[in-house]
Amino acid sequence: MRHNQHRHKLGVKTAHRAALLSNLAAALLRHKRIRTTQAKAKALRPFVERVITLAKKGYEAETPETRLHYRRLALSRVRDPEAVRLLFQERVEEFLNREGGYTRIYKLVPRRGDAAEMALIELIDADDEGYTKPKKKSRKRSRKAVPAPAAAPESGEGAAATGEAMAPAQPEGEVAAEPEATAAEPENPSGEPEATATEREGPGDTEDAPGEEERG
């Protein structure tokens, strides 16, 4: 069944498409970078990467017959002997330590005239480590300083210290006036009226009445 086989038709017949991709692959292997439309660049990428894989297998092959086999397979797809020779003898060493991803595509501005979407496809160098997305900077939210509530005066020593601090300062050379002492009043917790001097004296202390002496 022909499932998922309708990709990169490019609006041409099969023979025309094979010749087109062969010419594009030969130009890419020679110059390492070409400029074409985005549709052709996306169709060329899997095509030329399979050819590079054949070159890697031929380089790692143990027998010369196996190397010749992979080279003939690559030559049947890229119909340019000079481009295949350049790939198998010089360019293959650049892809030995890379597991796939041998090409890179850059999008360009549309072409003048027909406004076709253009792209730049190139072979990745051996020492190219690629590029990474820059890390997003985390925004730090600034918190406004909230004034602390006023602390209540403490009891005991703290309250005394607060009271001393609140007292107005006396001018130098003057002494604070002391409060006048008030006369101490006798305590009377019972609430009864105080006794007079006659009541305080006993019955024996009183003088005899004048009427009693005359009678005697």
Q: pLDDT of 135-159, one tens digit each?
A: 777 777 766 666 667 666 555 555 4
Distance CA 98, CA 91 (A): 13
Take residue 19 and report the two structure tokens written for it: 């010749």
pLDDT at 185: 54
Take residue 137 and report the two structure tokens written for it: 């900077």
Entry pTM: 0.60
pLDDT at 203: 53
pLDDT at 180: 58
Distance CA 149, CA 131 (A): 54
Above 50 in pLDDT, residue 76?
A: yes
Assign residue 195 a region: left if phi > 0, alpha if psi is -120 to 50, beta otherwise? beta
pLDDT at 5: 76
Distance CA 93, CA 36 (A): 26
Q: pLDDT of 47-60, one tens digit each?
A: 999 999 999 999 99
Q: Tell me the CATH class for 14-123.
A: alpha beta
In the block, residue with structure tokens 């107005």:
168
In the block, residue with structure tokens 């003048």:
112
What percent of the chain clears pLDDT 70, i.e. is strictly above it?
Answer: 64
Q: In this structure, is the dihedral angle defined by the CA atoms of residues 110, 113, 114 and 119, taken in order, positive or negative? A: negative
Take residue 164 and report the two structure tokens written for it: 């001393």
Q: pLDDT of 14-60, one tens digit each?
A: 999 999 999 999 999 999 999 999 999 999 999 999 999 999 999 99
Residues 22 and 78: beta-carbon distance below 8 Å: yes
Confidence bin at 6 (pLDDT 50/70/90): confident
Q: What is the mean pLDDT of residues 116-143?
A: 82
Q: What is the mean pLDDT of residues 106-116?
A: 96
User: Please, what is the average pLDDT of the chain?
Assistant: 79
Above 70 in pLDDT, residue 184?
A: no
Task: Give whole-number Cα distances, 117 to 42, 57, 106, in Å.
Answer: 12, 35, 11
